[in-house]
Amino acid sequence: MLFTAATVMAAADVASAQPAAPQEVPVGSADAAARADASYRRGLRLYSDKKYVEAEAELESAWELGPTFDAAYNLGNTKYQLKKYREAATYLSFALRNWPRLKTVAKLRPTAEQRLAESRAQVGAVTVTVSIAGAEVLVDGKAVGRAPLEGEVFVDPGEHRVEARHLDYEPASQTVSVAKGGTAEVKLSMALVKGEPQASAGATPDGGGSAAGATAGGPVAGQPPAGPVEPQPLPEKRSWVPVIALGAASVVGLGVGIGTTVASNAASGDAHTHSDAIIRAGAQCVRPEPSWVERCEQVRSDASRADTRGNVARVAFIGAGVLAIGAATYALWPKSKRTEPIVALPVVHSGGAGLAVMGAW
């Protein structure tokens, strides 16, 4: 489902744990997007008719197929109308965290903030911090996401069990009591799962040998130490797309430089030709006679064109060089030293030229 300002504005008054998407249609496919959009629009019409229960079902279907800002905003408002404040807070907080920078939806934000505050006052919240990134977080046995969680987990007032699970670590849990309108903080530290003790180097084929390594109280050879250990990331595969893009942009910049250089030389030649003709005729362009004003203006125009195109050519050549260096740097630089690829593209127009640089630092 594509977000448009018009669809949200059509229901200005309309409007977690994220539900799992249906398995038969992959989320993000063309069919799923079409179904999500159809459910979303039906939900808006039903909300406008104040049929909130029916609107809730349609908007939940749209959310499952495509969890977007506009689905969350309208679903949060629908839950608010139904007085399902915990769910309303979940969806409205998602919408506010992902609010688009568009003036057309700016006037809707105060409504979302007010309804989130009202819903938040009726429920509790838990902030969860887990020592291991990627661990699954559960509240009362229900999965709510993976660490680090984005935002608070909204719960009904009362006692709740918060748990973290990971295949390589011992589960960690904590039970907290949350008051209405209150917040409880949970910090879970996970310990690495202990493996089976390794046999010592002097062990015999029948299983005998020294067990000193396992009984002396020190770590056994080949066994990881106890306690939290950050998982090592898998080696990053180098992508050659940035190299190809930078190289292609460099070739384009070189072509622009050559083309504008040729055009600059042609304009300069025209200026010299017209100037020589004026001098041979015994005239001059400092204070030209009326009959020579037009030709003198032509000389100035040709010279100006030559200068402008020459400047563009110089910028294009510099840009081509920078892009070529960027491609070589990306290709040769160690992967551990890079974050996101940086792409520079030449920008050329009638008034000059420059470089547009895009990336993350």
Residue among 44, 99, 105, 104 nearest 77 (CA): 44
Give the model's pLDDT for residue 84.
95
Say how far apart CA 70 and CA 51 lie, in whole Å: 19
Say how far apart CA 190 and CA 355 lie, in whole Å: 48
What per-residue string of b and e applies to 219-236 under the rule 16 or more CB within 10 Å gives b? ebeeeeeeeeeeeeeeee
Residue among 243, 233, 221 nearest 330 (CA): 243
Say how far apart CA 291 and CA 276 lie, in whole Å: 16
Burial of 192 (0-12, 13-18, 19+ CB in 10 A): middle
Give the model's pLDDT for residue 331.
73
User: Could you tell me the sign of the dihedral formed by the alpha carbons of 24, 30, 32, 35, in that order?
Assistant: negative
Q: How far is CA 58 from CA 65, 96, 175, 209, 265, in A?
A: 11, 21, 35, 68, 66
Structure tokens at 143: 């999965």
Say how far apart CA 265 and CA 3 lie, in whole Å: 50
Give the model's pLDDT for residue 274.
74
Per-residue pLDDT of the chain (361 residues; tens, 9 = 90+): 444 433 443 333 433 333 333 334 454 567 888 888 899 999 999 999 999 999 999 999 999 988 888 899 999 999 999 999 999 999 999 999 999 988 888 899 999 999 999 999 999 999 999 999 999 999 999 999 999 998 899 999 999 999 999 999 999 999 999 999 999 999 999 999 876 444 444 443 444 443 333 333 444 344 444 444 444 455 556 677 777 887 888 788 788 879 888 887 887 888 778 777 777 777 767 677 777 677 787 777 878 877 888 888 788 788 878 878 877 877 776 655 444 555 555 555 545 555 555 555 4
Give the model's pLDDT for residue 105.
84
Give the model's pLDDT for residue 51.
94
To which H or E segment does residue 184 belong? strand 183-188
Helix, strand, coil content of the chain in percent (nearest 5)? 45, 15, 35
- 349 neighbors 293 (Cβ within 8 angstroms): no
